[in-house]
Amino acid sequence: MIRICPSILNADHTNLSSEIARIADASDILHLDVMDNVFVPNKTFTLQESMAIIKNSPIPVDSHLMVADPDVVAVEYAKVGSASVTFHWEASASPSETLKAIRGAGSRAALAVKPGTPFSSVRELLSELDMLLIMTVEPGFGGQKFMVDMLPKIREAHEAILELSGPRPWLQVDGGISLETIALAAEAGADAFVAGSAVFKAESPAAMCQQLRELATHSQVK
Ligand code: DX5
Ligand code: ZN
């Protein structure tokens, strides 16, 4: 199953609800990029602002926390209704506890790794995850180029996920996903795709989601 997750990072923030309405029917999950200007050199939505977006979103929201203190704030994002909360392994002193707290608050729990972090760092945690996010750009900004050198890491994660005896976490990619790159990521084993500029710069964001879905579906590894 393929999941298309548009990121509103570079959508029109003065008119977010109509931007979200444009992709709601064609996508699965709204990807909300939360940045604190500490973990990454950029700042986006506060908890208060995120709450309003989550409350009004017609589709489930995944909060992607690019913050320095996920062990404190991740559970807050779960409590305000995120369908899933994704935080960075690099920023967490106790990922296992934070994953449990997110699930305890009723959300799906996901861990993200930056391009420089090897898959081996999170391998042991796989069985505790509902989703693993492999960043395919340095987190912080939209519109960057997909890093093809992340493909072996995606493949490695996919193979490890197949070996799990229990439920299998989704494998998500984020950064530079477009009509040119989505098939590469799907062939390597990704099944959830964040796309920001490709979707919101398109004339028809919904048609773009549909095209991305078709490409990913045809390229997905079995
Ligand atoms: C980058 C964010 C991404 C970003 C992706 O740090 O995590 O979600 O919005 O944007 P594109 O698809 O333009 O690379
Ligand atoms: Zn993101």
Q: pLDDT digits over 133-175, tens only? A: 999 999 999 999 999 999 999 999 999 999 999 999 999 999 9
Tell me, letter by letter, the H, E, C secondary structure of 32-97.
EEEEECCCCCCECCCHHHHHHHHHHCCCCEEEEEECCCHHHHHHHHHHCCCCEEEEEHHHCCCHHH
Distance 159 CA to ligand 1 centre (A): 25
What is the number of the ligand 1 atom nearest to the C-alpha of 144? Answer: 14
pLDDT in tens, 197-206: 999 999 999 9
Structural contact between residues 137 and 181, judged by C-beta atoms closer than 8 angstroms: no
**Tens-digit pLDDT profile for residues 30-63:** 999 999 999 999 999 999 999 999 999 999 999 9
C-beta of 182 in contact with ligand 1 (< 6 A): no
Share of the chain above pLDDT 90, in %: 99
CB 6 less than 6 A from any atom of ligand 1: no
Domains of the chain: 3-219 (3.20.20.70)
Residue 114, classed as helix, strand or coil, is coil
**Would you call 149 a catalytic residue per the annotation?**
no
Ligand 1 mutation target, pool 4, 5, 7, 209, most atoms within 8 A of CB = 7
Average pLDDT, integer, range 109-115: 99
Does the beta carbon of 139 sit less than 6 angstroms from any atom of ligand 1? yes
174 is catalytic: yes
The three state secondary structure string of 130-173 is CEEEEECCCCCCCCCCCCHHHHHHHHHHHHHHHCCCCCCCEEEE
Mean pLDDT estimate for the chain: 98
Inter-residue contact 47 to 73 (CB < 8 Å): yes
Residue 222 has pLDDT above 80, yes or no: no
